[in-house]
Amino acid sequence: MNSCSTPSPLCYYLLMTATTTNAAVSAAEHKESVERKDGPDRKEPTYTFTEKQVSEKSEIARRFLDTRTRLNGNVEKANNFLVKRFYNIDHNSYLEGALPAKTKELMGLVASAVLRCDDCIFYHTIQAYRLGVTRAEQEESLNVALVVGGSIVVPHLRRVYELLQELYG
Amino acid sequence: MNSCSTPSPLCYYLLMTATTTNAAVSAAEHKESVERKDGPDRKEPTYTFTEKQVSEKSEIARRFLDTRTRLNGNVEKANNFLVKRFYNIDHNSYLEGALPAKTKELMGLVASAVLRCDDCIFYHTIQAYRLGVTRAEQEESLNVALVVGGSIVVPHLRRVYELLQELYG
Amino acid sequence: MNSCSTPSPLCYYLLMTATTTNAAVSAAEHKESVERKDGPDRKEPTYTFTEKQVSEKSEIARRFLDTRTRLNGNVEKANNFLVKRFYNIDHNSYLEGALPAKTKELMGLVASAVLRCDDCIFYHTIQAYRLGVTRAEQEESLNVALVVGGSIVVPHLRRVYELLQELYG
Amino acid sequence: MNSCSTPSPLCYYLLMTATTTNAAVSAAEHKESVERKDGPDRKEPTYTFTEKQVSEKSEIARRFLDTRTRLNGNVEKANNFLVKRFYNIDHNSYLEGALPAKTKELMGLVASAVLRCDDCIFYHTIQAYRLGVTRAEQEESLNVALVVGGSIVVPHLRRVYELLQELYG
Amino acid sequence: MNSCSTPSPLCYYLLMTATTTNAAVSAAEHKESVERKDGPDRKEPTYTFTEKQVSEKSEIARRFLDTRTRLNGNVEKANNFLVKRFYNIDHNSYLEGALPAKTKELMGLVASAVLRCDDCIFYHTIQAYRLGVTRAEQEESLNVALVVGGSIVVPHLRRVYELLQELYG
Amino acid sequence: MNSCSTPSPLCYYLLMTATTTNAAVSAAEHKESVERKDGPDRKEPTYTFTEKQVSEKSEIARRFLDTRTRLNGNVEKANNFLVKRFYNIDHNSYLEGALPAKTKELMGLVASAVLRCDDCIFYHTIQAYRLGVTRAEQEESLNVALVVGGSIVVPHLRRVYELLQELYG
DSSP letter string, E11-25? HHHHHHHHHHHHHHH
pLDDT at B30: 35
Across the interface, whether the CB atoms of B149 and C115 are under 8 A apart is answered yes
Alpha-carbon distance of C114 to B131, in angstroms, equals 24
pLDDT at F42: 79
Q: What integer best gives the mean pLDDT of chain C?
A: 83
Rounded to an integer, the average pLDDT of E34-53 is 77
- Which one, of C79, C101, C97, C88, lies nearest residue C21 by Cα? C88
Which of helix, strand or coil describes residue C33? coil
Burial level of A65, CB count in 10 A (0-12/13-18/19+)? buried
Quick: pLDDT tens for B100-142: 999 999 999 999 999 999 999 999 999 999 999 999 999 999 9
Quick: pLDDT tens for E107-131: 999 999 999 999 999 999 999 999 9
Across the interface, whether the CB atoms of B147 and E71 are under 8 A apart is answered no
Residue D73: which pLDDT band, with cuts at 50, 70 and 90? very high
Residue C7: which pLDDT band, with cuts at 50, 70 and 90? very low
Angle between helices E81-93 and B135-149 (to 10 degrees): 20
Inform me whether the pLDDT recorded for C152 exceeds 60: yes
Between A135 and E15, residue with greater pLDDT? A135
Which of helix, strand or coil describes residue E56? helix
pLDDT at E40: 52
Q: Label residues D132-161 b or e (16+ Cβ within 10 Å = b).
A: ebebbbbbbbbbbbbbbbbbbbbbbbbbbb
Specify which residues D43 forms β-bridges with. D96
Rounded to an integer, the average pLDDT of B3-28 is 36
pLDDT at C6: 40
Show which residues on chain C lie within 8 Å of chain B, measured between beta carbons. Answer: 1, 37-38, 89-90, 93-94, 97-99, 103-104, 106-108, 110-112, 114-115, 120, 134, 136-137, 139-141, 143-149
Query: Chain B contacts of A165, Cβ < 8 Å?
Result: 74, 77-78
Rounded to an integer, the average pLDDT of F3-17 is 38
Inform me whether the pLDDT recorded for A14 exceeds 70: no
Inform me whether the pLDDT recorded for B4 exceeds 90: no
The pTM (predicted TM-score) of the whole model is 0.85
pLDDT at E29: 39
Cα distance from D148 to chain A (closest Cα, Å)? Answer: 7
> Domains in chain B, start-ordered, CATH in brackets?
9-29+52-168 (1.20.1290.10)
Question: H-helix or E-strand containing F49?
Answer: none
Q: What integer best gives the mean pLDDT of chain A?
A: 83
Inform me whether the pLDDT recorded for A4 exceeds 60: no
Quick: pLDDT tens for B65-111: 999 999 999 999 999 999 999 999 999 999 999 999 999 999 999 99
Torsion E139-E145-E147-E153 (CA) sign: negative
Q: What integer best gives the mean pLDDT of chain E?
A: 83
pLDDT at C22: 35
pLDDT at D42: 79
* CB contact at 8 A, B163 and C123: no
Torsion A65-A67-A71-A73 (CA) sign: positive
Residue E42: which pLDDT band, with cuts at 50, 70 and 90? confident
Show which residues on chain E lie within 8 Å of chain F, measured between beta carbons. Answer: 1, 37-38, 89-90, 93-94, 97-99, 103-104, 106-108, 110-112, 114-115, 120, 134, 136-137, 139-141, 143-149
Show which residues on chain A lie within 8 Å of chain B, measured between beta carbons. Answer: 116, 139, 143, 146-147, 151-152, 154-155, 157-159, 161-162, 164-165
Residue by residue, DSSP assigns A112-126 as HHHTT-HHHHHHHHH
Chosen for mutation from D107, D116, D135, D137 (greatest number of chain A CBs closer than 10 Å) is D107
Query: Chain C contacts of F157, Cβ < 8 Å?
Result: 75, 83
* CB contact at 8 A, B93 and B124: no
Inform me whether the pLDDT recorded for C34 exceeds 80: no
| H helix intervals, D50-150 | 51-57, 59-78, 81-93, 101-114, 118-130, 135-149
Inform me whether the pLDDT recorded for F26 exceeds 50: no
The one-character DSSP state at C151 is G
Residue B39: which pLDDT band, with cuts at 50, 70 and 90? low
- The winner for highest mean pLDDT among B15-29, D34-48, D66-80 is D66-80
Quick: pLDDT tens for E62-90: 999 999 999 999 999 999 999 999 999 99
Inform me whether the pLDDT recorded for D59 exceeds 80: yes
Give the CA angle between residues E66, E71, E73 to the nearest 5°.
Answer: 100
Rounded to an integer, the average pLDDT of C3-21 is 36
Query: Chain F contacts of D162, Cβ < 8 Å?
Result: 71, 74
Which of helix, strand or coil describes residue D87? helix
* CB contact at 8 A, F47 and D110: no
Quick: pLDDT tens for D13-24: 333 333 333 333
Chains that touch E (3 or more CB pairs under 8 A): A, B, C, D, F
Inform me whether the pLDDT recorded for C86 exceeds 50: yes
Residue D43's φ and ψ, nearest 5 degrees, are: -145, 160
Residue F39: which pLDDT band, with cuts at 50, 70 and 90? low
C10: which residues sit within 8 A by CB, 6+ positions away?
A: C4, C72, C75, C76, C84, C87
Cα distance from B144 to chain F (closest Cα, Å)? Answer: 10
Inform me whether the pLDDT recorded for F19 exceeds 90: no
Inform me whether the pLDDT recorded for D141 exceeds 90: yes
Rounded to an integer, the average pLDDT of D140-161 is 98
Alpha-carbon separation of residue A135 from A58, A77, A151, B14, F51 (angstroms): 15, 37, 21, 23, 52
Residue C65: which pLDDT band, with cuts at 50, 70 and 90? very high
Alpha-carbon distance of F46 to F96, in angstroms, equals 9
Cα distance from E49 to chain F (closest Cα, Å)? Answer: 21
**Whole-complex ipTM:** 0.81
Inform me whether the pLDDT recorded for B22 exceeds 80: no
Per cent of chain B over pLDDT 90 is 75
Between A144 and C31, residue with greater pLDDT? A144
Inform me whether the pLDDT recorded for C19 exceeds 50: no
Across the interface, whether the CB atoms of D99 and A38 are under 8 A apart is answered no
Across the interface, whether the CB atoms of B139 and C98 are under 8 A apart is answered yes
Residue C106: which pLDDT band, with cuts at 50, 70 and 90? very high
Q: What integer best gives the mean pLDDT of chain B?
A: 83
pLDDT at F29: 38
Quick: pLDDT tens for C38-62: 455 679 999 999 999 999 999 999 9
Residue by residue, DSSP assigns E72-108 as HHHHHHHTBHHHHHHHHHHHHHTSBSSS-HHHHHHHH
Q: What integer best gives the mean pLDDT of chain F?
A: 83
Q: Is A118 left (phi over 0), alpha (psi -120 to 50) or beta?
A: alpha
Alpha-carbon distance of F65 to F61, in angstroms, equals 6
Inform me whether the pLDDT recorded for C23 exceeds 90: no
Inform me whether the pLDDT recorded for A25 exceeds 50: no
Residue of D nearest to F81 (CA): D143
pLDDT at D57: 98
Q: How many CB pairs under 8 A join A and D?
A: 98
Residue D41: which pLDDT band, with cuts at 50, 70 and 90? low
Inform me whether the pLDDT recorded for D164 exceeds 70: yes
Range of weakest confidence among A23-37, C151-165, D115-129: A23-37
Amino acid at F121: I
Alpha-carbon distance of E61 to C68, in angstroms, equals 44
Alpha-carbon distance of B49 to B61, in angstroms, equals 13
Give the CA angle between residues C103, C106, C112 to the nearest 5°.
Answer: 145
pLDDT at B42: 78
Rounded to an integer, the average pLDDT of E39-57 is 90
Across the interface, whether the CB atoms of B120 and A152 are under 8 A apart is answered yes
Inform me whether the pLDDT recorded for D166 exceeds 90: yes
Of A17, A29, A80, the CB nearest to F28: A17
Query: Chain F contacts of A29, Cβ < 8 Å?
Result: 13
Across the interface, whether the CB atoms of F80 and A38 are under 8 A apart is answered yes
